[in-house]
Amino acid sequence: MPKACKEKKYRIHKEVCKVSTKAGVKGAKPASGAVSQGLVFNTDLGQHVLKNPLIISSMVEKAGLKTTDTVLEVGPGTGNVTGKLLERVKRVIACEVDPRMIAELHKRFIATPFHSKLDIRIGDVLKADLPTFDVCVANLPYQISSPFIFKLLLHRPIFRCAILMFQQEFAERLIAKPGDKLYCRLTVNTQLLAKVDHLMKVGKNNFRPPPKVESSVVRIEPKNPIPNINFSEWDGLLRIVFVRKNKTLLANFKQTSVIQTLEKNYKTWCSLREKKIPEDFCIKKKVEDILVDGEFDKKRARQMDQDDFLSVLHAFNKEDIHFV
C-alpha cells in the first residue's frame, strides 16, 4: 500500500477510535427527536438527517448516475443517502466535519462490499479544495448554502449536475424570475452560471431531528461555457443595484458611497495603465451619462433580467469604469 494511503487510513482510524468512546461532542445540543441509537445530533452544525427512503431514492434517481461516476456528497451524516449512492456509482467522496459522523459511516459500511468505494474527507468543505467529481448529491447544512453553491459553480473541471437539499425559501430564490418577490442578487448570480430546476418540496418530518423550516430539492446544471466576464466585477455591479432593488438604477448609483468607490476604482485603473485623467473629469456626471445614454437610468433591479445586467456591465466597462 502506498505510504500516503496508509497515512490517510491511519488518520481516519485514529479519529474513529477517538470518538467511538464518546457519547457526544462539545457543543452538541439535544433537541426533540435529536437522539438516535445513542447519537446526539448537533443542530448547530445543521445536522438534520434525511430519513425518508422514498425521498432519498428520488434524489438519487434525479441525479442520473452512471456506474463510472464519482459523486461528491457533503454532510453525509449517518449515511442514509451515501448507501444508495454507493450502490450505483464507482466512488463516493463524502465530506464531513463531525468526527462522530465519520465513525458512524465507517461502522455502517466497513463490513460491506461498498467500503472500498467510500472516500471520506474530514474537515470544512468551504475551506478545502473540492476534488474532481461528476455529480454532487447533498443534504446540506443550511447555514453554508450560499457560499457552497458559488464554490461549487466556480469549481473546475466542470461537473455534470448537482442534486441539493436547501431551505425552501433559499431554493425559491434560486429559481425566481424578474419581478418575483424573492428575486435577488443570489438569483441572478446563480442563473448566470447554471440552469436551476425545482424538483420537490420536503416536509420537516422527513428529517431526524425535524428542522424548523420546510425544505426543497433542486437540480443545478452548470452552463458551459459561461459568459466571458469578470465574475468579481459582475458581482460588484449586483451588490450596488440590489441594495435597494425597488429603486431606479440612477438612484442607486447616485449614493455617495457608490460614487466614491467607482472614482477610486477609476483612478486606480488609470494609474496602473499610466493614463492621464482629464482635468474636467467628473465621475458622478460620467455615471449618469452612461445610465441615461443606455436607457438604464429608470430601470429597477427587481425587474431586470440577465441580459439587462450584462448590458449595464459592458456599458460601464466600455468607459473604463469598473466595479472592483
Count CB-CB contacts under 10 A for residue 131.
13
**Whole-structure pTM over 0.75, yes or no?**
yes
Distance from C-alpha of 188 to C-alpha of 176, rounded to nearest angstrom: 9
The pLDDT of residue 67 is above 70: yes
- Across 249-276, b (16+ Cβ under 10 Å) vs e yields beebbeeeebbebbbebbeeeeeeeeee
Model confidence band, residue 272 (pLDDT cutoffs 50, 70, 90): very high
Burial readout 168-198 (b: 16 or more C-beta within 10 A, e: otherwise): bebbbbbbbeeeeeebbbbbbbbbbbbebee
Q: What is the pLDDT of residues 145-161, one digit of tens each?
A: 999 999 999 999 999 99
Q: Write out the three cell numbers for 216.
A: 426543497
What pLDDT was estimated at residue 124? 94
Per CATH, is 3-222 categorized as 3.40.50.150?
yes
- Structure-block grid coordinates of residue 212: 424548523
Taking a C-beta distance cutoff of 8 angstroms, is the pair 86, 92 a contact? yes
Confidence of residue 34 (pLDDT cuts 50, 70, 90): very low
Q: Which pLDDT score, from 0 to 100, does residue 32 have?
A: 33
Task: Give burial (CB, 10 Å; 0-12/13-18/19+) of 56.
Answer: buried
Q: Is the pLDDT of residue 35 over 80?
A: no
Question: Do the Cβ atoms of 47 and 77 come closer than 8 Å?
Answer: yes
Select from 1.10.645.10, 1.10.8.480, 1.10.3720.10, 1.10.150.130 the CATH code of 231-318: 1.10.8.480
Q: How far apart are CA 254 and CA 186, in angstroms?
A: 23
DSSP 43-78: GGGT--EE--HHHHHHHHHHTT--TT-EEEEE--TT
Please tell me whether residue 30 adopts helix, strand or coil conformation.
coil
Q: What is the mean pLDDT of residues 85-100?
A: 96
Position 26 pLDDT exceeds 70: no
Q: Is the per-residue pLDDT at 14 higher than 80?
A: no
Other Cβ atoms within 10 Å of 64 Cβ, number: 12
Bond preceding residue 53 cis, omega within 30 of 0: no
Q: Where are the domains of the chain?
A: 3-222, 231-318
pLDDT in tens, 163-220: 999 999 999 999 999 999 999 999 999 999 999 999 999 999 999 999 999 999 999 9
Grid cell, residue 225, equals 461555457
